[in-house]
């Protein structure tokens, strides 16, 4: 159960990170509200997962999922330029996350 919660928390990290960028310094209400909600859900899930999973592994997987999804979403929506090297590096991050799970 902790692994599933950790993965969902990583998704919410990507949500709050994207909303933070769109809030333009918390000057836009809707993205700011999404940021706050996503941050709370993400942190609660991370804290729950860390009750049974090692801290370093949990944090690395949480950050890896959030970072990979945030960059992928930005490239898909055109907010960030896509390139072959970025795609390869995102795949490396995903591979590292999977590797941490397998090594656990």
Q: What is the pLDDT of residue 100?
A: 85
Return the domain boundaries, the chain: 2-103
Res. 103: pLDDT tops 80:
yes
Q: What is the pLDDT of residue 45?
A: 98
- What does the DSSP assignment read for the chain? -HHHHHHHHHHHHHHHHHHHHHTTTTTSHHHHHHHHHHHHHHHHHHHHHTTTS-HHHHHHHHHHHHHHHHHHHHHHHTSS---HHHHHHHHHHHHHHHHHHHH-
- pLDDT single digits (tens) 22-53: 999 999 999 999 999 999 999 999 999 999 99
Q: What is the pTM of this model?
A: 0.90
- pLDDT single digits (tens) 87-97: 999 999 999 98
């Amino acid at each position: 159960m902790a692994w599933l919660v950790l993965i969902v928390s990583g998704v919410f990290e990507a949500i709050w990170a994207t909303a933070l960028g769109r809030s333009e310094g918390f000057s836009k209400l809707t993205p700011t509200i999404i940021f706050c909600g996503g941050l709370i859900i993400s942190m609660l899930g991370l804290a729950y997962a860390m009750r049974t999973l090692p801290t370093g592994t949990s944090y690395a997987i949480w950050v890896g999922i959030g970072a990979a999804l945030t960059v992928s979403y930005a490239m898909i929506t055109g907010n960030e330029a896509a390139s072959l090297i970025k795609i390869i590096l995102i795949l490396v991050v995903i591979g590292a996350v999977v590797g941490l799970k397998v090594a656990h």
